[in-house]
Amino acid sequence: MCGIAGWFNAPQNKQHLESMLRSIRHRGPEGTGTFESDQVSFGNTRLAFVDLEAGQQPLSNETGTLWLTCNGEIFNHSELRSQLAGRHAFRTECDVEVILHLYEEYGVEGFKRLNGQYAFALWDSIRRKFILCRDRLGICPFFYTFSGSTLYFASEIKALLTIPELHREPDFQVLQDIWTFWTPLPGKTPFKNIFEVLPAHHYSLEEGKRDIKKECYWQLDFTEERWTENTAKEAFASIFDDAVRIRLKADVPVASYLSGGVDSSLIGAFASRYASTLHTFSIAFQHPDYDESEHQLQVARHLGTAHHVTRCTADDLAAALRKMVWHTEVPQLRAGPVSMLPLSENVSRHGLKAVLTGEGADEFFMGYDLFKETAVRRFMAKDPQSPMRRSLVSRLYPYLPGRDKFRSLELAMQDGLEQSDHMLFSHLFRWNNTARLQGYFHPEIRAELAPRPYEDRLAEILPDGFASWDSPQRAQTLEIMTFMTPYLLSSQGDRVAMANGVEGRFPFLDHRLVEFANSLPLTLKLRSLKQDKYVVRKTAESMLPADIAYRTKFPYRAPIHDIFKSSSFQHTGELLSEENLKKTGIFSPQAAMKLLNKAKKENMSSEMEQMALMGIATTQLWYDLFIRNNYP
């Protein structure tokens, strides 16, 4: 991984290019390279994994007619190199050089052959065409904006904010999205006129023009194939083993995160086959409702890994809040990204710069309670008055404290049952509940934000055929497109890992495994309320302790309410003063201060109130860092 930045359709400006790259130096502290011509300037800050000596970017083809800068890794580069050898002259052993020769051979169609995580810019000087491309699931971040006919691009928004003529302004419609979906939707950012390259797309632009041509080169597809339990288990083990193996390819060691659940534990089990000593890293919280350290240590002992624990206190979380917002560049309603900062810092402290992690397993093999909740609510909708049907709610969310409150959850989940045939039904309950938190917005902001149908807001990102898929497939797609990609892989993934120069690698997001998972019948993923990720767990039972292989899903969460009681929160708390809230003008000062005072005086048990306070605090931080103070 690394950081890339530059522009197209403007003359050279070395000082400006260096400023853009300097702002994202944390992504690649090991070196910088640039390419400049009459219309194109771009560069790269490098975090080296392959061909440490000669793999400096930007790279060109043998004739110098194509130039490339890429953030990411191409995991099948060896296979592609052997296919292209003889017809093309390779100048380095760098993995991303294959992109240049694939383009020479096949044009943009060649990008479909890549297996990896990447965001790259390619300059075709013969056709006078500039191309931006992003990996299938949006693992690598990629942003762009226009100033006149000049296209600027970068791995992070802060590099774009170095452009002197760019006017910084909040996009309140995107803030409304964050306070609905928990994150900006793919393609959007909370800054007006700054956009994100969509996952699985390549964009092309011709010299002197501003019209971008957008093409999607891969989509989710749920066409089922015939699988028995045994054949599915064999196929999963084979594909997953290779997905792990190729993500361990590097000229430096690769570590692994260990949460104590089946997904990261299975990655560790497969990775241990190839690593003489596998380093594993986990996080432990003081708060017992969030701590999984007992299970993490059990797995580490079982696999014989060199295990490292990051112990995270409320002070640690509060102290990291400002840094988290600086690196994610987005207001947050959840505390997960804050705790991932000290975790990746610990990886870096041990001299490691790549880590395997388990995102994607719950989305593609249906491990989230959300999928069970949707099935329960659709069942309730057929007879809403049935006490037996309503009682199934008590089987959901077993990790939540305060089981005596399930009566209120049972009643709440009856909301919207009449919409059980709606194509967005699985997520309406969550989105509608979160949207109520917009009541904390200042009345003038609320007046600007007219209600927008969810269908209209999601139109650009939903795959072809979505409306015709069945309920479980639609639920999976919505979770992948509105939560996994823009939040888990961004705020809680790349951004807080690369803040410390650490790259996350995701075996469950290998597109071969994704396509396999999407071809499975429902019974091999979600068999019952107690049997989720069925084929994953069946594979794990021979490699892990049974209580880990079949451990109930415990979603990764960090204790939000402890942050606001910490003495380290004092500086951030100043941004929640009546004076600062009035200056920003986004929230009602009275409502925000009342919420903060409540958090300081008592244990705020309401998850929605916790999310509201986290959202207010991080929005104030975001505004202070990026709008008011004109950083970097």
Beta sheet of 306-312, edge-to-edge order: 306-312, 279-285, 255-257, 354-356, 503-505
pTM of structure? 0.95
The pLDDT assigned to 404 comes to 53
Q: Is 50 helix (H, G, I), strand (E, B) or coil?
A: coil
Q: What distances in angstroms separate CA 25 from CA 30, 45, 327, 624, one per listed residue?
A: 9, 6, 12, 22
Annotation marks residue 216 as catalytic: no
Write down the pLDDT at residue 568. 82
Question: What residues of the chain score a pLDDT lower than 70?
Answer: 1, 47-55, 400-407, 630-632
The single residue listed with the structure tokens 């501003």 is 210
The model's pLDDT over 370-391, given as tens digits with 9 standing for 90+, comes to 999 999 999 999 998 888 888 8
- 8-state DSSP, 491: I
pLDDT, tens digit (0-9, with 9 covering 90-100), for 302-353 = 999 999 999 988 899 999 999 999 999 999 999 999 999 999 999 999 999 9
In the prediction, which pLDDT does 498 show? 96
Return the exposure string of 99-109: e unless at least 16 CB atoms fall within 10 Å of the residue's CB, then b: bbbbbbeeebe
Q: For the residues of 339-359, what is the DSSP string, one character each?
A: HHHHHHHHHHHTT--EEE--T
**Beta bridge pairs of residue 151:** 8, 146
- 368: three-class secondary structure by DSSP: coil
Residue 402: its pLDDT value, please? 58
Task: Report how far apart, in Å, the C-alpha atoms of 71 and of each of 3, 108, 132, 482 are.
Answer: 6, 18, 11, 23
Q: Determine the pLDDT at residue 55.
A: 52
State how far the alpha carbon of 404 is from the alpha carbons of 330, 398, 407, 408, in Å. Answer: 35, 12, 7, 9
Q: Is residue 620 a contact partner of residue 575, using CB atoms and an 8 Å limit? A: yes
pLDDT of residue 458: 97
- Take residue 388 and report the two structure tokens written for it: 């037996």
List Cβ neighbours of 106 (8 Å cut-off, separation of 6 or more).
Answer: 113
* Cα separations in angstroms, 84 against 79, 123, 246, 258, 440: 9, 20, 19, 38, 57
Handedness of CA 520, 525, 526, 527 (dihedral sign): positive
Q: Annotated catalytic residue: which of 2, 133, 140, 312?
A: 2
Write out the H or E segment, with its range, that includes residue 158: helix 157-160
Cβ neighbour number for residue 579 with a 10 Å cutoff: 9
